[in-house]
Amino acid sequence: MTCLMEGKKAAGWYKKVCDAIKGERVLEVGVGTGRSFQYYPRNIKATAIDLSDGMLAKAKRRAAELGLNVDLKQMGVQKLEFPDNSFDTVVAQCTFCSVPDPVLGLQEIRRVLKPGGRALFLEHMRHENKVIGKLMDWINSITSRMMGPNINRRTLDNIRKAGLEIETVENLAMGGIMKFIIARKGEETIATEK
């Protein structure tokens, strides 16, 4: 997936995602090298997280090259260290293929979104065709051991399980495996146990 996400087509996808950002406070989870920074709107207060020191160092360099002020933090999406209702938009790009508990990570995104806030996902996932989907299930144990990411995640289902409302789904490539999804947190606030 890495080579797919570095080409000209991917650049258009990053721009599409960033063009959909609404509001001032934005969180990008699994920021990696910061490859989408160049498409960020200039009027936002961006925070970006990743688990990897190496990726964050590259993202820091890229932000500096672009003259962006991005608050970079080492953190995982399954345990976000932000208060409830903190962000207008949360962005995840090819992140949920490698999150150990994707529903938990998506619930955390929902928690930190403001009521009515948007979650933007650029993700690859299990094919909807039964035969292709079963094949992806079968080879996932091999590909995940060799490359890391899972190729058979049911990300649309996981987004719904986390309590986010899906607004739009756009198939981008590979017969619908790569999708751009816009989801929204409902207007209610979430009570969390302290």
Digit-coded pLDDT (tens) for 119-158: 999 987 766 778 776 676 567 577 766 766 766 677 888 9
Domain chopping of the chain, boundaries = 4-184
pLDDT of residue 147: 67
Digit-coded pLDDT (tens) for 84-129: 999 999 999 988 878 889 999 999 999 999 999 999 999 877 667 7
Span 23-36, average pLDDT: 95
Give the confidence band of 52 by pLDDT, cuts at 50, 70, 90: very high
Q: 130 or 66, which is more confident?
A: 66
Among 2, 3, 55, CA closest to 28: 55
Share of the chain above pLDDT 70, in %: 83
| pLDDT over 80 (residue 83) | yes
Count the Cβ atoms, other than its own, within 10 Å of residue 35: 18
Give the confidence band of 12 by pLDDT, cuts at 50, 70, 90: confident
pLDDT of residue 36: 93
Span 22-26, average pLDDT: 97
* Domain 4-184 fold: Rossmann fold (3.40.50)
Span 64-71, average pLDDT: 94
pLDDT of residue 140: 59
Indicate the burial class of 159 (C-beta count within 10 angstroms; 0-12, 13-18, 19 or more).
buried
- pTM beyond cutoff 0.75: yes
